[in-house]
Structure 1
């Protein structure tokens, strides 16, 4: 029996041969890419790859090695395709749609829409990004906000997309898919929930608490100590505060921001009631114009893939292959297709970066569909 050192020496020798053969294979696939460019043929030929993998597995003697060799050659062919996509982009055959590159998002004279009423966290996010003097109006729902942008009634909409405590706001992700609007910026707002009521409210006599559904969830521990209170959700936290002000019922309280309490003349009854002290919501600024700032650092896309083993991994591998850092992935069911999903992905990078262009090209070529949601 060979000792371990001798075995490793033999493996090293085989690895050198594999590397040499791999480089020769990649050289040949570059020639294939040049041929496809000249003839207009697509890079991915699924039937050809299927036949190739079956032929390779037929060369394997041991049955237990058939799956590993198929996996190995799947990755080799995937890397070959990625090289071909890079070549296509370098030769100017990009699939990217045109867009306007600007130094900064135009805020002066902009009209902005948000969901809810004054005092809502979306209202705070809007003021944080656009300033105190921004021309704005509010609508009842997130869909109404997207419609206002689509119809040109507003230049921008401010929408919450995820919270550090309760996670993604899936309804907004669905709207990003439904509407042909673009994310052009983002804003982070620290959520500091307080309990509020009419001046002089006696907590021992409270029967009902109002807030947004997420506001109630984010204060779950506090509300556990008041199980006798009926919890009623509202379109947003500021609407809950406004309801307390309008109903004039001292047995009702709301969970919202200090700003909302001040705006509606309510008394702050309890502070620091959120489960997480560092509770933060990320808001996106949405426009109907395909405008991205030149120094954008984040890319957001949505794509659909076939429901086959490895299909999602293969698409995400284009991001990994190009050295890009994926920061977010969210799945949402596709309407009318049981157990099929679309995927929302955020990754670091500017649309003018060659690596980003290569990754988007690869995903576009190999997915059912892809849409760029924004570069910001």
Structure 2
């Protein structure tokens, strides 16, 4: 048999590809008919058992190990595309996931009671002032969980919690709190973190022996602090608490790493400004309410969902965004307590809950994942 040259091989491949496209279009038309049936009967799009049977069937048609894997991946992708097409048709018929969030023109803040963790002068306090202004009723609690409880119970209208730092990453404990309490993100604010070295009014850097601050603040200023090797570094619950301790102890050998706002509040002297080595250090704070509301012009949706520890599950879930043209901004994972090697994912994506593309993606994630929750649109 004459060996084909490259041009002849490519011509034959082109012919096969044309046949594949024709058959794929026919398959998608039939998928549309499946969607019509499911619309009439109320059946869900995602049928895990049926898809597993299909994969077993088509992989059984080939013997080679590589080809089995290739056929499995090919048909998995085709069925994923089919599902997204069916979601699209169902959305066009007005069928979408549960939507209990209410759009508002502005987030109501008149006479708002706002809670934050820490004490006056903490960065959470500064973030609250930055977002709400100084004329609101602010109060503080000891822990982030206390703040979540205050909002869920209705004693506070809003809580201000740090969720992510540009240097230190996610505040992972607060992600867990988002799942534990029925509060929703309604806004966010970004606070530039600029640490200073604070001491008593009559202190000088030469007097110092001990520096107190939050562990992350000590880490963010480690280059400056470690240059002074005779200073002992001690962690406390937050930066403002460190500043408060310095004034209460009255010991000129002690200093705090905190904000210059804390210095003014507690009557401390700024011994050195801007000591954090990352000068663009920024913390993202979220504003939480117990009401399911979102601004009409909101452009970020935060969700969470769970997945089993199985190859391809995350890709399949995220494809709901890909096929709806949605940009993912952030993804964070957390282990699910009591379920080894299973994870809960937190995702931020661009969009508004009123948009069909977002509704379509959320319906897919709701059907294909587990325990999907919309955490907020802001």
2:47 aligned partner: 45
User: Do the aligned partners of 2:97 and 2:359 also contact (CA within 8 Å) in 1?
Assistant: no
Distance 2:143 2:181 in 1: 14
- Following TM superposition, by how much is the alpha carbon of 1:234 offset from its aligned partner in structure 2, in angstroms? 2.0
- Following TM superposition, by how much is the alpha carbon of 1:375 offset from its aligned partner in structure 2, in angstroms? 0.3
- Following TM superposition, by how much is the alpha carbon of 1:61 offset from its aligned partner in structure 2, in angstroms? 4.6
Q: For 1:148, which of 150, 158, 170 is the aligned residue?
A: 150
| More displaced 10-residue stretch of structure 1: 111-120 or 155-164 | 111-120
Matches for 1:264-343 after TM superposition, within 5 Å: 264-343=266-345
| More displaced 10-residue stretch of structure 1: 182-191 or 52-61 | 52-61
User: Do the aligned partners of 2:328 and 2:347 also contact (CA within 8 Å) in 1?
Assistant: yes
- Following TM superposition, by how much is the alpha carbon of 1:166 offset from its aligned partner in structure 2, in angstroms? 0.6
Distance 1:42 1:307 in 2: 23
- Following TM superposition, by how much is the alpha carbon of 1:4 offset from its aligned partner in structure 2, in angstroms? 2.7
Distance 2:169 2:275 in 1: 18
Q: For 1:99, which of 98, 101, 118 is the aligned residue?
A: 101
1:66 aligned partner: 68
Distance 2:229 2:342 in 1: 39
Q: What do the CA deviations read for 1:186-242 (whole angstroms, capped 9, x no partner)?
A: 000101111111123232342221111211111121122133322222222111111
> Which runs of 5 or more residues in structure 2 are unaligned?
none
Three-state SS of the structure 1 residue aligned to 2:235 is: strand
Matches for 1:105-124 after TM superposition, within 5 Å: 105-124=107-126
**Equivalent residue pairs, number:** 376
> Which runs of 5 or more residues in structure 1 are unaligned?
none
1:355 aligned partner: 357
2:131 aligned partner: 129
Matches for 1:186-225 after TM superposition, within 5 Å: 186-225=188-227
- Following TM superposition, by how much is the alpha carbon of 1:10 offset from its aligned partner in structure 2, in angstroms? 2.2
Three-state SS of the structure 1 residue aligned to 2:284 is: strand
Matches for 1:175-194 after TM superposition, within 5 Å: 175-194=177-196
User: Do the aligned partners of 1:305 and 1:369 also contact (CA within 8 Å) in 2?
Assistant: no
User: Do the aligned partners of 1:318 and 1:362 also contact (CA within 8 Å) in 2?
Assistant: yes
Tell me the C-alpha RMSD between the 2 structures. 1.3
User: Do the aligned partners of 1:141 and 1:235 also contact (CA within 8 Å) in 2?
Assistant: no
Q: What do the CA deviations read for 1:247-300 (whole angstroms, capped 9, x no partner)?
A: 111111111111111111111111221121100000000000001111100000
1:19 aligned partner: 21
